[in-house]
Amino acid sequence: IDQVEKSGSTHDKQTTPWLQYDSYWLSVLRRTHNWSQQSQSKINIAEQEFVHNPVNSDEIEEIISRFQRALEKTNFSNAISTANPMAIPQNFAVTAPSYDSFNAQQTYYPPLPMCGNPQTDEFLKIMGLDHRITVPYTALAVPPPPSPELPQFLQGQSNSSPGLN
């Protein structure tokens, strides 16, 4: 769960709003990560896990500390806020071909094999969690985007314009 923050700190790269992780919900995620599974079987959840033992400030501080250490390791290279370790980093990487809404003759290909995502890998590493539903990112597993196909009227023709032979 994300929330928008705005800062006027002189330590920030910019003072525009940014998305930020919610440390409380990340504490909940960390505690419930073992409930994630690929199958649709039932999960036994003990009542004492949350009802009698809610997330506490130590767990929240642990999350913030993990993100602070990760931010320092990157030398703040992709941080939108150097003052806030919970700001979501700007480390987007393309891992699948994008949809071209301007191409009316869009070719649809079969689904790509499951491939990981470097942002997910980094997030799980920071949180100290393993892949349960996702798979690790491998650069070689991501196929290059397909080449655009020639329109039908250009296939098999020389350099001349269509209809002008």
Cβ-based neighbour number of residue 126 at 10 Å: 20
- Residue 139: both structure tokens together: 């650069």
Q: In the prediction, which pLDDT does 90 show?
A: 79
Which of these, 135, 124, 18, lies nearest to 81 by C-alpha position?
18
Using a pLDDT cut of 90, give the percent of the chain over it: 25
DSSP string of 47-113, one letter each residue: GGGTTSS---HHHHHHHHHHHHHHHHHTTTTT-S-SS-TTBPP------SPPP-TT-TTPPP-PPPP
How confident is the prediction for the chain on average, in pLDDT?
A: 75
**Helix 23-32 vs helix 57-73: crossing angle, to nearest 10:** 100
pTM: 0.67
Q: Identify the band that residue 67 occupies on the pLDDT scale cut at 50, 70 and 90.
A: very high
Cβ-based neighbour number of residue 138 at 10 Å: 11
Beta bridge partners of 21: 2
